Structure 1
Amino acid sequence: MTATTVTRAEYCVIACAEAWRDNGEVLASPMGLIPSLGAKLARRTFSPDLLLTDGEAMLVRDDGTVEGWLPYRRHLSMVTGGRRHVMMGASQIDRYGNQNISCIGDWARPARQLLGVRGAPVNTLNNPVSYWVPKHSPRVFVERVDMVSGVGYDRAAAAGPSATRFHRIPRVVTNLGVFDFATPDRSMRLAALHPGVEVAEVEAATGFALAVPEEVPYTREPTAAELHLIREELDPRGAREREVPA
């Protein structure tokens, strides 16, 4: 890799960072290495009002130093009031953004037991939730999830205003591109390709028919300053390249 070569992992960091653009003073809750790098990059550049947490009781800077106290009561008030933006993982996700991290197969007799539902229902119904999938495949992007952990647009709409008040899925980022739900029926749309990826490659790796615009843009190029931050300050050991190999 030369100094000017942008890797796929770095495009993924940029795409994750963009999820928090213009969010204002909200609590960023990234789950996973590349989403964490994205949140830190956003805070250091175009979203300086973002709040980062150590996952326990403190607000921290991007280098981990403490800048404030976040008691659990305050944390819950941010969650239930829509003032947090989570980026979670997904073992399965369908065309309407229903997410599964609980089990594969019938929940009464699963073929694989995963993390469990955890806080996914509360997250998705109370604050914006984006998703990060490091390996885009038909096993993850499925026609119908085996169990709903995170609530998608169709199920939120069916539940009514109490479910849709704060429900929003801004984007899904994978190693192939960026996806949103900016369609009339709130089904998944290909919003951007990472450079070097073709539309056909994404369609072949997706287990349902995606909405694909006539012209699909590419994930934006990082600035020289952003590349410096990623490579020299936020992830100098290059752990991002192990999560999304070149």
Structure 2
Amino acid sequence: MSTSTSTTRAEYCVIACAEAWRDDGEVLASPMGLVPSIGARLARRTFSPDLLLTDGEATLVRDDGTAEGWLPYRKHLTTVTGGRRHVMMGASQIDRHGNQNISCIGDWARPSRQLLGVRGAPVNTLNNPVSYWIPRHSTRVFVERVDMVSGVGYDRAAAAGPSASRFHRIPRVVSNLGVFDFATPDRSMRLASLHPGVTVEEVRAATGFVLTVPADVPYTREPTAAELRLIREELDPAGARDREVPA
């Protein structure tokens, strides 16, 4: 267990999620999950003060959760289709080109497990930036080919043509092991940074496809003292983050 002064794995994940919204300007940040939510609120409190946050229903909120404005569903959809939103979704499966599955496991006609359904994933991925948060990096999630495409990846967007690829962007994938992007010639997944304490070999062993790994992989950046104070004392004083990402 980390000491009170050491940065925990969960806190590196919060920092990595927060960085997804750096330089986004005035967009609607839609984090799905505890760690991304803390990350979005941290980004707004520090380097991205113009972010808008939502309670997921009909209200814009401040980083402490109090109401800031009204955002009815029709306005939310207008924001999505206008590209003024950056969502961080989860993924039951994700492949090397960023295709995401949250619908079912197994054959679509007779799945072994029914999940959420496609939800808004197709519209999200074709209209505004979509990042992903995966708290448990494993070969069951990082797969060679998803069983069903819910969120559209780079290969399928390109194959569908400009109408699909024009606004398609997956800035980053954050897991409990590291940060990943698609900054490769064929838009396949690349290891962008390792969380301190994680090795390249661990990441490769937990990934079900060939991952692009640069010769020199940096570590996820350290939080500042001010960021750690915000995380620990104001944004998540109960330490719920450590239950989602154990040390």
Partner of 2:188: 187
Asked whether 1:165 is paired with 2:155, we answer: no
Write out per-residue CA displacement over residues 183-217 of structure 1, whole angstroms, 9 at most, x where no aligned residue.
Answer: 00000000000000000000000000000000000
Partner of 1:136: 137
Query: What is the CA-CA distance between 1:164 and the residue it aligns to?
Result: 1.0
Provide runs of 4+ in structure 1 moved above 4 Å.
none
Query: What is the CA-CA distance between 1:219 and the residue it aligns to?
Result: 0.3
Q: Taking structure 2 as the reference length, what is the TM-score of the superposition?
A: 0.98
| Letter in structure 2 aligned against 1:111 | S
- Correspondences of 1:1-246 after superposition (within 5 Å): 1-246=2-247
1:154 and 1:20 mapped to 2: Cα distance?
24
2:62 and 2:94 mapped to 1: Cα distance?
32
Q: Alignment length, in residue pairs?
A: 246
Write out per-residue CA displacement over residues 69-102 of structure 1, whole angstroms, 9 at most, x where no aligned residue.
Answer: 1122221111001110000000000000000000
Query: What is the CA-CA distance between 1:57 and the residue it aligns to?
Result: 1.1
2:92 and 2:173 mapped to 1: Cα distance?
13
| Letter in structure 2 aligned against 1:190 | L
Unpaired stretches in structure 2, ≥5 consecutive residues: none
Query: What is the CA-CA distance between 1:3 and the residue it aligns to?
Result: 3.0
1:178 and 1:78 mapped to 2: Cα distance?
27
Q: Taking structure 1 as the reference length, what is the TM-score of the superposition?
A: 0.99
SS of residue paired to 2:69: strand
Percent identity, aligned pairs only? Answer: 87
| Letter in structure 1 aligned against 2:145 | R
- Alignment RMSD (CA, Å): 0.7
